[in-house]
A and B are shown apart, each in its own frame.
Chain A
Amino acid sequence: MFDFSQLIQPLFITKIIILIVLFFYTIFTVVIYNQVKTMNNLINISTVSIIIEVLAILHILAAISLFVLALAIL
């Protein structure tokens, strides 16, 4: 049977907080990527714009990876 007392353990609360924060952070990285895309539509500087967009994508991937990792190991 599930022990509800573990819900008020600081470790469990910390895990939940970390997961929630990571989830919102992942959404935040998507917002940044959308802005980079919008700005690249506004002004395009050949290869440089692509580098910035790639960095924004890598940022999203890093955030998703961390969220998945936290979900798996915590």
Chain B
Amino acid sequence: MPDIFIGNDKPKQEKINTAPKKTPIKLNTMSSGKVPHILAAFCQNPAGVTFKNQDQDEVILLFLRAHFITNISWILTVFFLLIAPFIVSLVFHVTDIGSLFSFMSGRMNTIVLFFYYLLVFSYFFINFITWFYNIFLVTQKKIVDIDYSDIVYHNLAITNLNLVQDVNFTQSGFFPSLFDYGDLFLETAAKNKNFEAKSVPQPDVAANIIGDLIGKEGSLT
């Protein structure tokens, strides 16, 4: 007689995930870290950092800005500008160009020289604060992107973490590979509102932290 009902005696096969298990990054929601120093570019759980519109119970989990090595071009320019007057005075001594400025008194030369060094300081200071105030913050609730450029432009963009749909990073080139920095991209649900943090150190770690917060894995593009 043919069997109509046959019990399933076969043991159930469990799916075994052979992929290497990603070690979760511990997210500390208490700000127990240290205060980021003046040249800090990557800081987890920083202490002493506050931003506008921060909630009372909101804790900053990640503090990012561009890697300090990205400043090397203007730092070298500053060094060159600092020694430039010595080179110019040497050229004036060797050639006869200096006679063109013979109408200028010694006191006037001193004022011009002081003014020159003040301009060099301005150049240094503006470049420094442009780097210093371009900050990317991750809290347990929000993503905060602070942009600052050209002395008079500043922008504060905030989005809730639940609006972040994807996080990825790019790391290409000799210097980014050598100093371990890259660009971090966040895609949000909002129209035309994608966040990016340029040249941040350890972009893979940052992407993993944000990925853990939004429940996705940070990917390399």
Question: Which residues of A pack against B, CB within 8 Å?
Answer: 10-11, 14-15, 18, 21-22, 25, 28-29, 31-32, 35-36, 38-39, 41-48, 51-52, 55-56, 59, 62-63, 66, 69-70, 73-74
**Chain B 126-154, CB within 8 Å of chain A: the 1/0 string?**
10010011010100000000101001101
Please indicate the chain A residues that have their CB under 8 angstroms from the CB of B178 in the complex: none
Mask: chain B, 30-62; 1 = CB below 8 Å from A; 0 = not: 000001111000000011111110000000000
Interface size class of B (residues with CB under 8 A): 35 or more
Q: Known: A36-B129, A41-B52. Contact between A18 and B103, CB under 8 A? A: no
Chain A residues, Cβ within 8 Å of B152 = 31, 35
Scoring B residues 100 to 131 as 1 if CB is less than 8 Å from chain A, else 0, what string do you get? 00011101100110110011011001100100
Q: Is A35 in contact with B154, judged by CB distance below 8 angstroms?
A: yes
Query: Nearest CB to that of B52 among chain A residues?
Result: A42
Asked whether B125 lies within 8 Å of A56 as measured between CB atoms, the reply is yes
Subset of 28 A-B contacts with CB under 8 Å: A11-B105, A11-B108, A21-B115, A25-B115, A28-B122, A31-B151, A32-B122, A32-B129, A32-B151, A35-B129, A35-B154, A39-B133, A39-B154, A42-B51, A43-B135, A45-B48, A46-B35, A46-B49, A51-B38, A52-B129, A52-B132, A59-B121, A62-B118, A66-B118, A69-B111, A70-B111, A74-B107, A74-B108
